[in-house]
Amino acid sequence: MTEPSDRDADYELNQAALDYHSKPRPGKISVEVTKPTETARDLSLAYTPGVAEPVRRIAENPEEAYRYTAKGNLVAVITDGTAVLGLGRVGSLAGKPVMEGKGVLFKHFADIDVFDIEVQAETPQEFIDTVRRIAPTFGGINLEDIAAPHCFEIEQALIDQLDIPVFHDDQHGTAIIIAAGLLNALELQGKTLEAAQIVILGAGAAGIAAARLLIAMGASRNKILLVDRKGVIHTGREDLNPYKFSVAAETGRRTLEDAMEGADVFIGVSGPDLVTKAMLASMAERPVVFALSNPVPEIRPEVACEVRDDMIMATGRSDYPNQVNNVLGFPFIFRGALDVRASRINEAMQIAAAHALKDLAREPVPESVLRAYGATEIAYGPGYILPKPLDPRLREVVPPAVARAALESGVARGEWPEHYPRR
């Protein structure tokens, strides 16, 4: 009897995924009715003539939409299909399973309703115009799977033009989780963010956003080197777009090999198997390695462990310790923003979310989390620098931290929610 091959396992997984998405009913999300519809009076309240009065109220004061409609708990997950997962430019319709999946996570983890919207747009401006025109429907906009550099232009234009939160999760969600885990890993390694020499491989949405957030949180601008396909992003290069130029370094280092020598931190948001054993060996003592390419990391943990026994490592995969997973962030960040009717998700709110996640990982892990992961013990340390996605305390700590930052930074239009802990 032959052993099952990797190809057999892939086929089984792919078929299971197709069955999951197609049976017994196609898709992963639906719309539910939240009010009674059992009697003629119910229907008259749900539609005509009952809708007339809330319509009049909203016409007089648009803020009343938050009282009489689902706007305040409704997020649009929107893509143009130009950078879907690791599959590239597959088109907006092919990205729909991913957008529905994002809706599942919003609802499951933060009880936020989602409409997924797939936009056919030939230019960034067409996409911006489309989103701007439909924005009154929603309390927030989650941009998803939009290729760099257009994602930067699109997000900033929509932030400037809309009065609801606009958040590109591939940028800021990834950056927030990286920052939270990195703060804990550096402390465990006896290092500080301010002094750390950091290499970021990949200068797309996630890499540039991570660099910007880490600098905002105290990393030294002169100690961060970003590397793209052409090497280190330095001020002497003439091929840089404005977004890459904003993170260019004044340095004589030119290659990834050069950048890795003596580095305290490696953050990979690029592609598989790009870091060699020799590069890893050249890093400083007690390094932190975040190899986040998924499904295959920049260097695989089993390979990395052959070279270093003094590192803390994270990946984007759930089958290794320290998974950097965006689901730790976006549902709870939007929950906090929506609960105080924030007009945007600003840097202060992002930093607050990162610190809340960092601090939660240091707390004793409840029994329910141990059961969910089939573990007898999970404790803060080199193998546990971030909370687990199924930790129920995420809903308790991250939204209030985000809401507090929104109120203190002046972007909230609501009050401190009564169901939150005291400020």
- 231-232 sheet: strands from edge to edge: 231-232, 224-228, 198-201, 265-268, 288-291, 312-315
Among the options 47, 68, 230, 277, which is catalytic? 47
Residue 364's pLDDT is what?
Answer: 97
Omega of the bond prior to 49 within 30 degrees of 0, cis? yes
First-to-last CA distance in the chain? Answer: 64
Asked if 394 contacts 328 with a C-beta cutoff of 8 angstroms, the reply is: yes
Residue 39's pLDDT is what?
Answer: 97
- Catalytic annotation present for 47: yes
Hey, what amino acid is at 236? G
Residue 313's pLDDT is what?
Answer: 98
CATH architecture of 69-164: 3-Layer(aba) Sandwich (3.40)
- Residue 21: CB atoms within 10 A of its CB come to 13
Residue 6's pLDDT is what?
Answer: 63
* Residue in 191, 226, 186 with CA at minimum distance from that of residue 206: 226
- Catalytic annotation present for 66: no
Per-residue confidence of the chain (423 residues) as pLDDT tens digits?
455 566 777 788 889 999 989 999 999 988 899 999 999 999 999 999 999 999 999 999 999 999 999 999 999 999 999 999 878 899 999 999 999 999 999 999 999 999 999 999 999 999 999 999 999 999 999 999 999 999 999 999 999 999 999 999 999 999 999 999 999 999 999 999 999 999 999 999 999 999 999 999 999 998 999 999 999 999 999 999 999 999 999 999 999 999 999 999 999 999 999 999 999 999 999 999 999 998 899 999 999 999 999 999 999 999 999 999 999 999 999 999 999 999 999 999 999 999 999 999 999 999 999 999 999 999 999 999 999 999 999 999 999 999 999 999 999 999 999 999 886
Asked if 201 contacts 180 with a C-beta cutoff of 8 angstroms, the reply is: no
Among the options 71, 102, 244, 388, which is catalytic? 102
Alpha-carbon distance of 166 to 344, in angstroms, equals 6
Give the residue range(s) of CATH 3.40.50.720 domains in the chain: 172-315
Residue 232, strand partner residues:
227
Residue 88's pLDDT is what?
Answer: 85
Alpha-carbon distance of 42 to 84, in angstroms, equals 42
Q: What is the 3-state secondary structure (H, E, C) of the chain?
A: CCCCCHHHHHHHHHHHHHHHHHCCCCCCCCCCCCCCCCCHHHHHHHCCCCCHHHHHHHHHCHHHHHHHCHHHHEEEEEECCCCECCCECCCCCCCHHHHHHHHHHHHHHHCCEEEEEECCCCCHHHHHHHHHHHHHHCCEEEECCCCCCHHHHHHHHHHHHCCCCEEEHHHHHHHHHHHHHHHHHHHHCCCCCCCCCEEEECCCHHHHHHHHHHHHCCCCHHHEEEEECCEECECCCCCCCHHHHCCCECCCCCCHHHHHCCCCEEEECCCCCCCCHHHHHCCCCCCEEEECCCCCCCCCHHHHHHHCCCCEEEECCCCCCCECCHHHCHHHHHHHHHHCCECCCCHHHHHHHHHHHHHHCCCCCCHHHHHHCCCCCCCCECCECCCCCCCCHHHHHHHHHHHHHHHHHCCECCCCCCCCCCC
Alpha-carbon distance of 325 to 389, in angstroms, equals 8
Alpha-carbon distance of 241 to 243, in angstroms, equals 6
Give the residue range(s) of CATH 3.40.50.10380 domains in the chain: 69-164
CATH architecture of 172-315: 3-Layer(aba) Sandwich (3.40)
